Structure 1
């Protein structure tokens, strides 16, 4: 799909026009009607008066018999007082889904009223979400004879002197969305086609030509580093573990890097604590955090954000076999701490323990952020629409939530209190990989576990389990949501300011 700026004169020659109105809004005052033929404007007003109320989710359309304009669609935005940033993310997706389902290949839409007067940001938001909605993972499907539904061109309409700001916003939005969609494609790929080694190769391919240096540590290198957590989880699989490292150094030499760590369990059976039939189906997506970091570093590079950023992805399979790690095993991590394994299905935190400690010691971060589909408990706590946020820097909490709002990648804070630490004290080892209270407080126990391996580094943990897959009503294709990539973009832009607060 091509997205392009066009001035209002384009409206008169577009094949399809989309207009959005709030409830009780006076349709006659739509300023862009001025550029339409008089009979077209008259037809729209007559139709709107009889058929259209502007209610949220409402769509009313009609065909025109003469002229280049063949279809007009009116979209309801609901009550203006209830309009918010989250709804702004959805309306471009709604447009795209409607166009595809109605086989509309080209349409024009004025966007300033819907998304605000900061034109570059409005164009970026619109373009990002439009491209996200256009994505479908059909790699393993046979194409229909008529081909997959496609939108060829979407024109964003604004005044001629807005062209530069709008075009810049469109370009940035498309870059961001393409990286999110690549992340989604990576996470959607079946486990048989996305092993740790193949994930490492994907990281290499993504980094090519982007100024990103890639290093891959194998089993022997991890043994030398004492990474007993990663090696322990990987023992049950024929696929060898990989530690993927991405280095992007375009900031000042004196700047401490932003270190991003992503959980990369390419398939999670639960190990010897085998998952249920229902629970195992989507576990090829348990490397979503790793995919987020790969494409998060990539989008930082493609947007040429001037910071130092490091990506670290521990990639393993968690499989049951005669060589698997067992409940009751003691795994000695790179930090020297031992992990008492109570359940082999709480493996993500074990591999992240080594990755976080490695990141803290090797790179001395200004801030370290991990992304992981860590706990079902986070999903239970927050539902489908935002990720769980934890940080050891309370002074950053409000800003971290705000970054999510700006990105359209929402997070919500949960406590990281020391009272929860006693729940994960080991009986025979230093720390247990499961809380004593079971699922109660499970997301907090997972975060508190990770905190033991950050070596006092300023740190943020984002549990993206609630956002592993797209939610109902988001106007996104089924499958991976690509959570975290857009968050990384906004975090990277704010990074130099965040460092001043630490």
Structure 2
């Protein structure tokens, strides 16, 4: 999508004008022989960032619905209606214009009259350089979120661990990011029993993808860990047909981490950032790991497999252990980890966990600022007694109760973060994002069906400000 800036409103009759007005109705109409996109501002209550996100997306969705390829907006109309700094307003608009204009059409036949996308948005008024920079930044962020959505939407037959590793290299072409990929031998030398154990049943070999963007002098890095299960059948504890649909998106955390780092590099964020992705397929075969198997993890801890469909936490555990080598100032893992997270929150926000209340507050604030909303659940010590301790191993990968599944999944990961030798505390500050509720877009998001690309925007904001 092209953004063009003018001092005065374009007179071309083929360019539809955006008009903000009172009320809840948003429609496409005609005024003076020209198309107009009327956007209702709502019930007159304070217009916050959440409403701005929806409004920006509505503009594009309505234009596409009316087959309008060019629209024009008066920037001061938005400035006077939203209590947001002008440069930030420009960024939010550009991000959400890009997100709403996206559709995953890679496998569709091209229509005779071409794809129905908005090609150009004209922004008119007194547009200062900082506002133009805000629009430019928003387009970069929106473009990388959409690239994340493309990765996550790609069918499992074409998105193997090897292909995911190559996709990471492609994402960083001409960017100052070093990519290293470990194979079975290297992971064996590191004793990554979790990653190797989960991958045993698959023909496709696992990969451990390491991405290093070092632009922060001697500062300690932020480490981002993304779950990279490129297809999850559930293994021998196989999913139902309905439950297996969309499980090519079980690498959405990995896709987000890749494009968060690409965004950071394009925005030239002066931080040291590491990305770690354990990439596997979880397949049933005569070689698969089995219920009752005991895996020895990279940390040395042992895990009894109760359910092979709780594989994500197993591979993430090895990645969290590997993260310690960087002596990070923060580790954030991102995973479509549990269906229980959806049961807890619905599909409007991702679940976050941390032992650090200040980090919880920071993530909630950045969620509101970015549009990738999050909400915390508890991670109290008492949950360690609710079913993660093993009988025949140190830990079990699936709990014996059907309650609190998202919490117990996070508590399992905490065992690979905390310092067992200390009375309390962690080896490093840590946040776990269970993004399962936001894996795909839902009605009311004003986005195309498929991957939502979250929490990419949130993590970019984190890297900018933390």
TM-score bin (small chain)? over 0.9
TM-score, structure 2 normalization: 0.95
Matched, 1:294 2:265: no
**Of 152, 155, 161, the match for 2:119:** 152
What does the per-residue CA deviation read over 1:389-408, in whole Å, with 9 as the maximum and x for residues that have no partner?
Answer: 10121222212100111111
| Shift in alpha-carbon separation, 1:417–1:58, aligned structure 2, 3 A | same
- Mapped to 2, the partners of 1:337 and 1:179 lie a distance apart of 37
- Structure 1 residue 167 and structure 2 residue 135: aligned? no
**1:64-463 equivalences in 2 (<5 Å):** 64-65=32-33, 70-81=34-45, 83-110=47-74, 111-159=78-126, 162-253=127-218, 255-360=219-324, 362-423=325-386, 424-438=388-402, 440-455=403-418, 456=426, 457-463=428-434
> C-alpha separation between the residues in 1 aligned to 2:431 and 2:167?
26
1:476 aligns with 2:447: yes
Q: Contact 1:112–1:158 (CA<8 Å) still a contact in 2? A: no
Q: CA RMSD in A?
A: 1.2
Instruction: Give, in whole Å, the separation in 1 of the partners of 2:31 and 2:4.
Output: 24
Alpha carbons 1:256, 1:365 under 8 Å: kept: yes
Using the TM superposition, give the Cα deviation of residue 164 of structure 1 relative to its aligned residue in structure 2, in angstroms. 0.7
Distance 2:11 2:113 in 1: 29
After TM superposition, give the deviation of residue 340 of structure 1 in Å.
1.0
Distance 1:114 1:267, change over 3 A: farther
SS at match of 2:45: helix
Residue 61 of structure 1 is aligned with which of 11, 29, 33?
Answer: 29
Instruction: Give the conservation status (yes or no) of the 8 Å contact 1:88–1:114.
Output: no
User: How far 1:88 moved relative to its partner?
Assistant: 1.1
The corresponding residue for 1:2 is 2
- What do residues 266-294 of structure 1 show as CA deviations (whole Å, max 9, x unaligned)? 00000000001110010000000000000
Structure richer in helix, relative to its length: 1
**2:335 touches 2:434 (CA, 8 Å); kept in 1?**
yes
Show CA shifts across 1:24-73 (max 9, x none). Answer: xxxxxxxxxxxxxxxxxxxxxxxxxxxxxx22x432512433xxxx2123
Offset at 1:175?
0.3
Question: Given the two structures, how large is their TM-score scaled by the length of structure 1?
Answer: 0.88
Deviation of 1:144 after TM superposition, in Å, equals: 0.9
Deviations 1:55-114 (A, max 9, x none): 2x432512433xxxx212321111221533211111111000000110111111123234
- Bigger Rg, structure 1 or 2: 1
Contact 2:197 2:295 in 1 (8 A): yes
CA contact (8 A) 1:340 1:433 kept: yes
Aligned mates of 2:173, 2:368 — CA distance in 1: 31
Q: Any conservation in 1 of the 2:297–2:318 contact (CA below 8 Å)?
A: yes
Any conservation in 1 of the 2:347–2:438 contact (CA below 8 Å)?
yes
Q: Give me the whole-angstrom Cα distance separating, in 1, the residues matched to 2:251 and 2:28.
A: 41
Runs of 4+ in 1 over 4 A off after TM superposition: 11-14
Contact 2:37 2:63 in 1 (8 A): no
Give the C-alpha shift of residue 202 in structure 1. Answer: 0.3
Answer whether contact 1:132 1:476 (CA < 8 A) is retained: yes
Question: Counterpart of 2:462?
Answer: 491
Aligned residue number for residue 467 of structure 1: 438
SS in 1 for 2:143: helix
Cα contact 1:247–1:310 (8 A) shared by 2: yes
8 Å contact kept, 1:5–1:163 = no
SS of corresponding position for 2:331: strand
Q: Deviations over 1:168-217 (max 9, x none)?
A: 01110000001000000000000000000000000011112110000001
Asked if structure 1 preserves the Cα contact closer than 8 Å seen for 2:48 and 2:83, the reply is: no
Give the secondary structure class of the aligned counterpart of 2:210. strand
Gaps in structure 2 of 5+ consecutive residues: 419-425
Cα distance in 1 between the residues matched to 2:97 and 2:309: 37
SS of residue in 2 equivalent to 1:104: coil
Q: Does the C-alpha gap of structure 1 residues 450 and 16 become closer, same or farther in structure 2, counting only changes over 3 Å?
A: same
| Residues 100 and 447 in structure 2, CA contact (< 8 A), matched pair in contact too | yes
